[in-house]
Amino acid sequence: METHSSHKIVILAAPSGAGKTTIMARMMEWMPDQLSFSVSSTTRAPREGERDGVDYFFISEEQFKNNIEADGFLEWEMVYNGQYYGTTKKEMERIWNLNKVPLLDIDVYGAMKVKSIYGSQVLSIFIQPPSLQTLRERLIQRGKDSMENIEKRLAKAAEEIAQKIHFDTIVVNDDLNKACENVHKAVVEFLKN
C-alpha cells in the first residue's frame, strides 16, 4: 500500500453501548471536509437499517478469507460470534485520495494493530463507559441484542476496558455532549500538526 508520512488516521474504539455510534456521527457532522468514515468489511449479517457499502461492506466468509490471502487488510479481527471484521487497505487509500483522514470505528485490538503500524500518524481514542452496570443498562435499553449477546458484549467490554492504557487519549462518556466535545478537541489538535 502506498503511504505517505502526511497520511493520518483517527481511531475511535469503545465497548459497544459506550456511545461510540453517536460520537462517530457527530464527528462526521462537525468535520465533513476533514474526516471520512472508514467502511469496514464484515461477515456478520446486516442489522435492520444498515446499508451495504455505507455502514459496512457485508461480505461472505469466503470473500473475507480471500482478502486475507491477498493481503488486502490493514487489520482484521474475529471480534465475536465467529464474525470477522476488517479494515481494507483499499478503503484507506480511497479516503487519503480524497485528501481526507479516515475515521475508524474498530475494536481495541484492531486499534492497537493500526497504531503499531502507523505510530504518530495515528490518533487512537478510547471511549470509556462510566461503568459496566451503565453499559449493561444501555445495551438492554437499545434492544438490539439478545440477552446472550449482551452478556458476550459485556464480557468483551471488560476485556477492552483493560486495554485502554494503550490509547493516545481516553474520553469518559458520562455525558454524551461533553464526550463529543472532548473527542472533537483531540481530533482538531491532532490534525493541526
List residues near ligand 5GP by CB under 6 A: 16, 40, 44, 75, 77, 79, 85-87, 105-107, 110
Q: Which residue is nearest to ligand 5GP (CB)?
A: 110
Q: Work out how close the CB of 30 gets to ligand 5GP at its nearest, in angstroms, rounded to a whole number.
A: 20
Residue 171 CB, nearest approach to ligand 5GP (Å): 15
77 vs 138 by CB, closer to ligand 5GP = 77
The answer to whether the CB of 150 falls within 8 A of the CB of 37 is no
List all residues 6 or more positions away from 121 whose beta carbon is below 8 Å from its beta carbon: 5, 7, 8, 9
The side-by-side arrangement of strands in the sheet containing 122-128 is 35-37, 101-105, 9-13, 122-128, 169-172
Task: Give every CB contact of residue 85 below 8 A, 6+ residues apart in sequence.
Answer: 40, 41, 42, 43, 44, 76, 77, 78, 79, 106, 107, 110
Cβ closer to ligand 5GP: 13 or 180? 13
Q: Which is nearer to ligand 5GP, 74 or 187 (CB)?
A: 74
Q: Which is nearer to ligand 5GP, 5 or 165 (CB)?
A: 165
Minimum CB distance to ligand 5GP, residue 110 (Å): 2
How many whole angstroms separate alpha carbon 14 and alpha carbon 173?
Answer: 10
* Residue 125 C-beta: closest distance to ligand 5GP, Å: 12
| Nearest CB to ligand 5GP, comparing residues 86 and 182 | 86
Rg of the chain in Å (alpha carbons): 16
Q: How far is the CB of 75 from ligand 5GP (least distance, A)?
A: 6
